[in-house]
Amino acid sequence: MPLLRCLCLIILMVALPAGAAELKLDLGHGAKTLDSAQLTARKDARNIAIPDDVAYHRAMTYRAVPLKTLLAGIDPNDHLQFVANDGFAAEIPAALILNAHGAEAWLAMEDPTHLWPILPGKNVSAGPFYVVWIRPEANGIGPEQWPYQLAAIRKQEDIAARFPAIVPAASLPANSPVRHGFEVFQRNCFACHTLNGEGDARLGPDLNIPHNPTEYLRADLLRAYVRDPQSLRHWPQAKMPGFSTSVLSESDLDALLDYLRHMSDRKHTP
């Protein structure tokens, strides 16, 4: 028995190179695990330059593979979830990744022997895996769609189907600002926050239970908080980034606040 255990340990050590990180991939036809050594050795892996990296706020160069080549079998109508080690859960439509023109999504792999720099204001790097974009402005890719410290990629149902308690009232007209605000919420807030107890993110507090921020903050203060959280309450350990007008326009912010006010009357206890 001791010999058998030793042999199993040796096989595991050979199978996974020292320091290699693992990424879980579940696209609905059997979960599998990829490791950084395998990905780095792929023929389509190459060095890419990111002139204005979202996480590091400067130019960076990464060893990466085109993300769409790892997602064989997905359809443009599919929905993908990118789960990070810290509880961040980005929701990205597959169509954004599969598009043949405009923004290109790449999966960057951290070399365990040459770690990336520590992230500004944190004590960890963006590794072991990080979704980065070439030409993000071509498709309006926002900061929440650059998930780092990535642990898993999963094919999921649409957000509204999975989390009905975050959906605004069906009686609202199609052109309602609240409906637009719901889209803004999904794109910019849902990666960190839950609402009515629903959602997979575990990084920030719930935005409706027990109280919606529109219930305890004046509109001008809430707007200032979204733009720069430190302007309202200075807290060195705060994790929420500010959303500039280049990321969240004034009209999008108006719609987001309309959605939050609307949901304050639609509380659901988890």
Same domain, 122 and 209: no
Q: In what order do the strands lie in the sheet with 60-66?
A: 46-50, 60-66, 104-109, 129-134
Report if residue 240 sits inside a domain: yes
Q: Which pLDDT tens digit goes with each residue over 152-197?
A: 999 999 889 999 999 999 999 999 999 999 999 998 999 889 999 9
Q: Is 113 helix (H, G, I), strand (E, B) or coil?
A: coil
Domain count, the chain: 2
**What is the C-alpha separation between 268 and 118, in angstroms, rounded?**
40
Terminal Cα distance for the chain, rounded: 49
* Boundaries of domain holding 250: 160-263
**Residue 237: which CATH number?**
2.60.40.420
**Position 231 confidence tier, pLDDT thresholds 50, 70, 90:** confident
Q: What is the pTM of this model?
A: 0.80
Report if residue 7 sits inside a domain: no
At residue 5, does pLDDT exceed 50?
no
Residue 106 near residue 134, CB atoms below 8 Å? yes
Report if residue 221 sits inside a domain: yes
Q: Which pLDDT tens digit goes with each residue over 32-46?
A: 999 999 999 999 999
**Position 107 confidence tier, pLDDT thresholds 50, 70, 90:** very high
Same domain, 25 and 152: yes
Same domain, 127 and 146: yes
**Position 237 confidence tier, pLDDT thresholds 50, 70, 90:** low
Mean pLDDT on 78-97? 92
**Residue 68: which CATH number?**
3.90.420.10
Q: Which structure tokens are listed for 54? A: 């979202």
Same domain, 191 and 205: yes
